[in-house]
Structure 1
Amino acid sequence: MSSRPEVLFPLFGDLTKLAGIGPKSVQLLGQLDISAPRDLAYTLPHSGIDRALRMSLRDAVVPGVVTVEVEIGQHRPSRAKGGAYRIDVQDSETGFQLVYFHARGDYLTKLLPVGQRRIVSGRVELFDGMAQMVHPDHVLKREAADSLPRFEPVYPLTAGLTLKAMTKAVADVLDRLPDLAEWISPGQKAKEGWPGWRDALRQAHAPESMADLVAGAPARMRLAYDEFMAHQLTLALARAHRRRAAGLVSQGSGHLRNKVLKSLPYQPTGAQMRAMDEIAADMARPERMNRLLQGDVGSGKTLVAFMALLVAVEAGGQGVMMAPTEILARQHLEGLQPLAEAAGVVLELLTGRDKGGERQAKLAALERGDIQILVGTHAVFQKDVLFQDLRIAIVDEQHRFGVRQRMELGRKGAAADVLVMTATPIPRSLALAQYGDMEVSVLDEKPPGRKPIQTALVSVERLDEVVSHLRRAISEGRQAYWVCPLVEESESVPLMAAEQRFQSLRAALGDGVVGLVHGQLPPSEKDAAMAAFVAGKTSVLVATTVIEVGVNVPNATIMVIEQAESFGLAQLHQLRGRVGRGAQASTCLLLYQPPLAETGMKRLTTLRETEDGFRISEVDLEMRGSGDLIGTAQSGLPRFRVGDMEHQSDLMAVAQSDARALLSEDPDLAGPRGQAARVLLWLMRQDEAIRLISVG
């Protein structure tokens, strides 16, 4: 089934076939992202106007829209050209004026003949104590009163497109809606009391009050569910398709993992043990693993990831772990080194910096299988990098790593298992929308011995106190990070800010105490500054946000973030997670420039009140919306016309389990409900999914 079903033709036809839509309107509708009648059907009213007929203006709330029957009195044309043309009118209890500008008198005397009765509806305001309705929206004879809806829907518009034109075109689309077979399971539909698809659209476009415009109204909920269902079906089909592709069975003996567990000075958390078991079980199955490991700052992802790499080695294969930047790759190497020594496996690093003979030697060892675990940047993708037997690829920080790279990696080891790690807790709704094709393991416990971090808001006016606090801490042998704001527009401004802060702190704290790292430094200098800080040679590291992810210095117990209000919540949370890694109590000082805007205040106080990354990500999502959270450009997040990912995560979860259940009962979507679901996929333009069924 590779072409659109005929029943949907009316919804994907030419817009100019609709009432009142010409070539110019088509361009205007294009600005609203409407290119077919189907898009108009899914452009729901966002508000409404109460047009219920009243006895008199006297009991109405003014200013506001009023609909009332009046007797038409005297016309008073304007003396000035284009001035106000006034008409006196009287309802059952009081008098007021209708006002028109640039009006043609002959037109108005026909529309509003003196002495006759008309129903007028429009916005009424008081002007010098006199009630006026300027340019009424509707003027009707009594017998046409029924043509005015009691509650008039208001649509999103764009300059040049009137509400009248939009309403007319939508009405025409609603008349053409086909009758589609039901794709929702009868149980789900009955439980929620949802209307059928066609009725749902008609009801959503004919609200009777504000209550019909909220997301929880049955018609709207059903339409949102349909969008989520189509999206989740697409993800479930991709997942099923990948599962059909042969994977490798990597069954480990456990002997290397036991060595590592014995060498640890602590007991892994329950969450870590659970994630390790889930991953090992996936790797032992013949299908390819595609799992997301989600863990908050400091929840111990590194250990879980290393255990997964060891399963591959125990099974006689190799594993690779990839990071988005060189600093991070080196960090992983340092974190994994002691674990690799405990297990007795060969671990190597490959980055863009490896050149010539050294690189050739590494590549040869990799192809022979002498290197068992490789850590690297995207240099691992290059054509000449060949593994003897790659079993698992672990990708760090999904957000900088699109689906395309995930597939590239899959090709390196045609059947390799994939584990994606992210240190950014993702709210459930986004995780479902973005990673719905993956299984998810969550690390939601902190390893033992981690002390909570004290977070304080400090006005920049108290900078001197902060510096003397630092001086005291350094004399006690502690270390601190000082993060400078990164001003997006220009690279040179933050450099100056970082350089100046570096100079002023050096002057205050003494030579050789303060180091500096920023994006413009040559890699060797960056590494040297980091190394000096890690080794404890410098006590304060001034940095732009290069240290956001992955840096691990247990002795660093103070984090100062300048202009904290200019950072996103998730980013602040990541930065704060750089301290609190040792046995000592840590502090995070958020320096802000007063006065703080309301959103800045909310971000900083949220951070002060909680260290729970999932809670923080939810507040961040409420404040910024889903596109910003992941950077829409590469987020691959779907855009829904009716559904709201942020506030309807429960509905998304229901759609996910329904989609998976439908496919497990009917993998080829061949039964009656399966056929209906295929129509839904076409309706929602999920062509990718349709291709998967046809090749499936």
Structure 2
Amino acid sequence: MPSLQDPVTAVRGVGPKLAEQLATLEIETVEDLLTYFPARYDEMTPTNVQFAKDKQKLAVKGTVMSEPIISRYGYRRSRVAFRLLTGMDVVQVTFFNQPYLAKNITANMDVIVTGTWDAPRQTIKGTKVITKDLDQQSGMGAVYSVNKHIKQATLQKTIRQAFTQYERFIPTLLPVKLRQDYQLMERREMIAQLHFPTDRELAQAARRTAAYEEFFLFELRMLALRQANREADGLSIQYHNDEVRAFIKTIPFELTNAQKRVVNEICRDLKAPYQMNRLLQGDVGSGKTIVAAIAIYAAITAGYQVALMAPTEILATQHAQKLAKVFAETPVNVGLLTGGVKPKAAEQLRAQIAAGQINLIVGTHALIQDKVEYANLGLAIIDEQHRFGVKQRQTLREKGNHPDVLAMTATPIPRTIAITTYGEMDVSIIDELPAGRQPIQTQWLQAKQLETAVRFLKEQLATGAQVYIVSPLIEESESLDVQNATALAEEYAEIFAPTYQVGLLHGRMTNDEKAAVMDQFQAGDIQVLVSTTVIEVGVDNPNATVMMIYNADRFGLAQLHQLRGRVGRGQRQSYCLLLADPKTDDGKARMETMVATTDGFVVAQRDLELRGSGDVLGKRQSGMPAFKVGDPVADLKMLQIARRDASELLANPAWENTDEYQPLALYLHRHQLATHFD
């Protein structure tokens, strides 16, 4: 029987070539195709321009009064213009960068034009022109996010064909009670109204249904995963409490109350018989590394190995160096395994890991290669966990015999969002900074104040401090008027010569080149480090007191906060200078937020308010799930209700055995590990 899990090639008209094109949009099954929802809608019901408002999006039906004129300007840029008689009015229609339209439109042809109305100029800035089946055009036209591999019209046609072919086989997943309680649509109607809406109200009702369904299914998977983790066999790591207490006494500072609380939560999980799956959140500089060190030591006292996986070689190397110092007087043997380790040394290291001679292995994704075998892996720690995909994290979990997993992130996420969206994990938060840390003083300067900033840098350097200067790009870009790191490094080398040395760090350098520059900066041989955002995470030099960021308005708040966290890591007062001339209200608001607070959770909340969930909660920025329809920020209440409903359903062990729940049980079984995070 046909199923939504059929490959897209089962849809009539989809051959291997079109299937390849659809795959670039991550569409591989019929369900992927039917749930690839529109990004927006064009109003298709013709409007009288006499009643249209300026900047209104509209559709206008009329007769072409003049042959289209095409004019070209700039590189691959063009304009097609013609006059259109609509009702009693003649208006100008302009299409940009669609030169092929000139061949398709002729004088006296009846058309519908969609676009934006420019009232002062009596002009329509066109987005689309329709020349066929004009009488059938009404309602709203779905517009999809496409790429260079597939055309809008092809995707629209393919989705319509898939719906026609599979409409009878679309199961409704939400139970009757929930649909009645919240006045939600059946899944078949929801999909129809999202792709082919008959009016705006029905489209909104369908989107509301889709958002709730997406949240509900997501939370079901998260809670089912959590339940499965609890029920699965795990390690009970019986660490030596006296040894751990003795180790904590050797730490040269008092742990904060938040650190003590989190250490207790982690140690409780280590002893429990189920597999730990805990997320440790802490703002930059809050002391996550020492908490991780205590957990590492506890596992090693029980005879287990620990693996710590970091996203970059710089960060992995730094962790290995720092932990080697922390564990200098203990039986912890630290090994560093990254892609940059020479083949012969890597082979020797793998042999020592397999023999159990190294009990703390720090590295990048090299830790999860097939060739790496652990003697007795008990604890896996994933730093900046959102930078790894689901499969990479799962592979590390599968090394050894169900090791406990501690994931760490310095990307602050408001607690309600973290607890709700990381539903399969327990969440620990370090919400206080170590004693003696002074808040970083942040100042927003305009480009014309650059001389003042440079003077301040010289004053700081004269005290023996070091400085970061961050640029958004490596090389010049024609599209963005921004300073680039290479030019900046040359410029500052002249400004500070011969007294101070300037180094350059960017992502296109080899790992050896990066390591050499970082070593020189850490040793104080380089006083000024000009860098791209490659230093955003984990770089730690307590002697660096100033972070100056060029074109700061080009960065998101979360990234600015991470960059600022590279200073203020010692006892000295530190500073962050934001050079920016923002053109938008959002850009100004970001600068004002950075000046107003150094609390990462406040910054994160403001970031969510300014940008919504799209980028902030997307996989690129913080690793949280990229939902297709729902917005975890704007729809937080709905997300929390969906979580409660999912929890109530799973609390009833008999739910899977009733006929009504069969489609949902099948869906959950099929998608249990597909957690949106990859």
C-alpha distance in 2 between matches for 1:469 and 1:209: 60
Q: Pick from 572, 581, 593: which aligns with 2:560?
A: 572
Other-structure match for 2:486:
496
Pair 1:421-2:411 in alignment: no
Structure ID, larger Rg: 1
Question: Which stretch of the first structure deviates more once superposed, 393-402 or 300-309?
Answer: 393-402
Query: Taking structure 1 as reference, are residues 67 and 566 closer, same or farther at Cα in structure 2, changes over 3 Å only?
Result: closer
Which amino acid in 1 is paired with 2:182? E
Alpha-carbon separation, structure 1, partners of 2:540 and 2:313: 15
Match of 1:254 among 231, 235, 241: 241
* Kept after mapping to 2: 8 A contact 1:514/1:541: yes
Indicate the residue corresponding to 2:541 in structure 1: 553
Task: Give runs of aligned pairs for residues 15-54 of structure 1, distance below 5 A.
Answer: 36=30, 39=33, 43=37, 46-47=40-41
User: Following the alignment from structure 1 to structure 2, what is the Cα–Cα distance between the partners of residues 457 and 563?
Assistant: 11
Secondary structure of 2:427's partner?
A: strand
Which of these residues, 432, 445, 455, is aligned with residue 468 of structure 1?
A: 455
State the 1:391 CA deviation. Answer: 0.7
Give distance in 1, aligned partners of 2:568 and 2:663: 54
TM-aligned CA deviation for residue 154 of structure 1: 3.4
Amino acid paired to 2:474: V
Does residue 183 (structure 1) correspond to residue 174 (structure 2)? The answer is yes
Task: Determine the structure 2 residue equivalent to 1:454.
Answer: 441
Which of 298-307 and 650-659 deviates more? 650-659
The match for 2:182 is 192
State the Cα distance separating 1:415 from its structure 2 match: 1.7
**Alpha-carbon distance change, 410 to 138 in structure 1, aligned in 2, over 3 angstroms:** closer
Q: 1:345 aligns with which of 316, 325, 331?
A: 331
Residues 353-364 of structure 1 mapped to structure 2, 5 A cutoff:
none
Q: CA–CA distance in 1 between the matches of 2:392 and 2:130?
A: 58
Deviations 1:424-483 (A, max 9, x none): 234679857974433322223222332221111223333332222122223333332223
Report the CA distance shift for 1:27/1:406 in structure 2 as closer, same or farther (over 3 A): closer
Tell whether 2:295 aligns with 1:305: no
Paired with 1:67 and 1:297, the residues of 2 have a C-alpha distance of: 54
1:590 maps to 578
What is the alpha-carbon distance in structure 1 between the residues aligned to residue 451 and residue 113 of structure 2?
64
3-state DSSP of counterpart to 2:289: helix
Question: Contact 2:468 / 2:531 at 8 angstroms: preserved in 1?
Answer: yes
The residue identity in structure 2 corresponding to 1:299 is S
Task: Output the aligned Cα RMSD.
Answer: 5.5
Give 5+ residue unaligned stretches, structure 2.
70-80, 94-104, 123-128, 478-482
1:318 is matched with which residue? 305
2:279 is aligned with 1:292: yes
Is contact 1:322-1:377 (8 Å) kept? yes
For 1:596 and 1:126, the matched residues in 2 are separated by 26
How many Å separate the matches in 1 of 2:312 and 2:252?
30
**CA offset at residue 689 of structure 1?**
6.5
Classify 1:368/1:589 alpha carbon distance in 2 versus 1 (closer, same or farther; 3 Å): same
How big is each residue's C-alpha offset from its partner over 1:558-605, in whole Å with a ceiling of 9 and x where there is no partner? 11223334444333221110111223322101223x474555444433
Contact 2:300–2:306, Cα closer than 8 Å, also in 1? yes
User: Is the 1:484–1:497 Cα contact (8 Å) retained in structure 2?
Assistant: no
The CA deviation at 1:250 is 0.6
- Rounded Cα–Cα distance in structure 1 between residues aligned with 2:83 and 2:439: 71
- Equivalent-residue separation in structure 2 for 1:456 and 1:191 (angstroms): 51
When residues 212 and 512 of structure 1 are mapped into structure 2, their CA distance, relative to the original with a 3 A threshold, is same
Stretch moving more, 434-443 or 296-305: 434-443
The answer to whether the Cα contact below 8 Å between 1:25 and 1:161 also exists between their aligned partners in 2 is no
Match of 2:255 in 1: 268
Distance 1:378 1:686, change over 3 A: closer
Tell me the CA shift for residue 514 of structure 1: 4.6
Cα offsets for 1:499-547 (capped at 9, x unmatched): 404422432xx43555555556676665555445435555433444443
Which SS does the other structure have where 1:155 is aligned?
A: strand
Deviation at 1:262, TM superposition (A): 2.6
Judged with a 3 Å threshold, the aligned counterparts in structure 2 of structure 1 residues 584 and 347 are, in CA distance, closer, same or farther, namely same
Q: Assess if the C-alpha contact under 8 Å between 2:333 and 2:357 holds in 1.
A: no
In the superposition, the TM-score normalised over structure 1's length comes to 0.71
Q: Which position in structure 1 is the counterpart of 2:126?
A: none
Tell me which amino acid in the other structure corresponds to 1:451: Q
Distance 1:386 1:628, change over 3 A: same
Please tell me whether the aligned partners of residues 246 and 287 of structure 1 are also in contact (alpha carbons under 8 angstroms): yes
Deviates more, 1:357-366 or 1:432-441: 357-366
Q: Shift in Å at residue 252 of structure 1?
A: 2.3
- Kept in 1: contact 2:12–2:161 (CA 8 A): no
Q: Distance in 1 between matches of 2:493 and 2:612?
A: 39
SS of the residue corresponding to residue 575 of structure 2 reads: strand
Residue 406 of structure 1 corresponds to which residue in structure 2? 393
Shift of 1:363: 5.4
Q: Is the 8 A contact 2:67 2:107 kept in 1?
A: no
Which secondary structure state, in structure 1, belongs to the residue aligned with residue 656 of structure 2? Answer: coil
Distance in 1 between the 2:473 and 2:196 partners?
Answer: 49
After superposition, give the CA deviation of every residue in 1:120-141 in whole Å (9 maximum; x if it has no partner): 9999999999xxxx9999999x
2:430 to 443, 464, 469: 443
Structure number with higher relative contact order (C-alpha < 8 Å, ≥ 6 residues apart): 1
2:99 alignment partner in structure 1: none
For the residue of structure 2 that corresponds to 1:394, the secondary structure is: strand
Is residue 402–residue 634 contact of structure 1 (8 Å, CA) maintained in 2?
Answer: no
Residue 383 of structure 2 is aligned to residue 396 of structure 1:
yes
CA–CA distance in structure 2, aligned partners of residues 121 and 571 of structure 1: 42
Cα distance in 1, alignment partners of residues 525 and 118 from structure 2:
73
- Write the deviation string for residues 156-187 of structure 1: whole angstroms up to 9, x where unpaired: 2797849998999799689x55795663483x
My pick for the range that moved more, 258-267 or 277-286, is: 258-267
Offset, 1:321: 1.7
Using the TM superposition, give the Cα deviation of residue 302 of structure 1 relative to its aligned residue in structure 2, in angstroms: 0.7
Give secondary structure in 2 for the equivalent of 1:557.
strand
- How far does the alpha carbon of each residue in 1:220-279 deviate from its partner, in whole angstroms, 9 at most, with x for none? 322212123333334444444455542211122322332233334544334323322222
Q: 1:394 deviation in Å?
A: 0.8
Moved more, 31-40 or 308-317: 31-40
Larger deviation, residues 646-655 vs 547-556: 646-655
Q: Does 1:506 align with 2:496?
A: yes
**C-alpha distance in structure 2 between counterparts of 1:397 and 1:292, whole Å:** 10
Change (3 A) 1:440 1:135: closer
Q: 2:657 aligns with which of 664, 670, 673?
A: 670
Contact 2:140 2:200 (8 Å CA) reproduced? no
In structure 1, list runs of 5 or more residues that go unmatched.
Answer: 69-75, 90-94, 109-119, 141-146, 691-696
SS at match of 2:657: coil
Shift of 1:305: 1.0
What does residue 221 of structure 1 align with? 208
Residues 138-217 of structure 1 correspond to what in structure 2 (within 5 A)? 152-156=139-143, 161=153, 176=167, 183-184=174-175, 186=177, 188-189=178-179, 191-197=181-187, 213-214=203-204, 217=205
Amino acid in structure 1 at the alignment position of 2:447? V
Identity of aligned residues (%): 36
1:301 deviates by 0.8
Q: Is the 8 A contact 1:283 1:289 kept in 2?
A: yes
Q: Does 1:377 align with 2:364?
A: yes
Query: Is the contact made by 1:46 and 1:213 (CA closer than 8 Å) also made in structure 2?
Result: no
Range with bigger deviation, 563-572 or 162-171: 162-171
TM-score (norm 2): 0.73
2:305·2:377 contact (CA, 8 Å) conserved in 1? yes
Give the whole-Å Cα distance in 1 for the aligned partners of 2:18 and 2:358. Answer: 64
